[in-house]
Amino acid sequence: MVEESSNKTVGVLALQGDFEKHLSALYEVGVNGKLVRTETELLSVDGLIIPGGESTAMTKLIMTFALEEPLTEFVKTKPVMGTCAGMILLSNQTDSDSVIGFGAINIELERNGFGRQLDSFSADIPLEFTNGNPFHALFIRAPKILNTGEDVISLATHDGETVMARNSNVLVTSFHPELTDNLAIHKYFINQILLSKENLN
């Protein structure tokens, strides 16, 4: 469970991808969850998860649902978590003009940097915030972080590559934490970002 009770609600962008898994994880850690597909729904939540999926398809749907401008403003200051494709959308720079880069976290990345679908793999990675306890991470067409800004903190690595990072209000992973039973990463997002003092407003 989360460290303290809260009336805050976390939205999950539900245009494409594995959004239902994230919604289930939020309920498991004791947080209100809500699927988000419209600007009105976005403005009603206190934080947001952008799930894994296909970043090009998600970009097209964001345009179709007129969410580009509302999301651009939301991710500047609100607590946001992005996994796999969600990390791509939140990044400062991508390797494709067909994908939005909201610039919410100062990272440069390569889409499918860990390989295509056939190269998917799992690995036990130590998390900095759990005293190095391993997290069994699933990498599926995973993006690879190439460079990070000075304000970005690495929270987990695999083979020397950062695969989980954060700045003040944004948490991103190359892998899919929602596809495991381990809730450590969702709890970290809630406790250390959503419920942190600077975001309690």
Catalytic positions, written as ranges: 84, 176, 178
Residues 6+ apart with CB under 8 A from 48: 10, 11, 12, 13, 36, 42, 74, 75, 78, 79, 80, 81
CA 51 to chain centre: 6
Nearest to 48 by CA among 194, 196, 198, 200: 194
The radius of gyration computed from the CA coordinates of the chain, to the nearest angstrom, equals 15
The owner of tokens 């610039």 is: 103
Residue 129 φ then ψ, to 5°: -95, 5
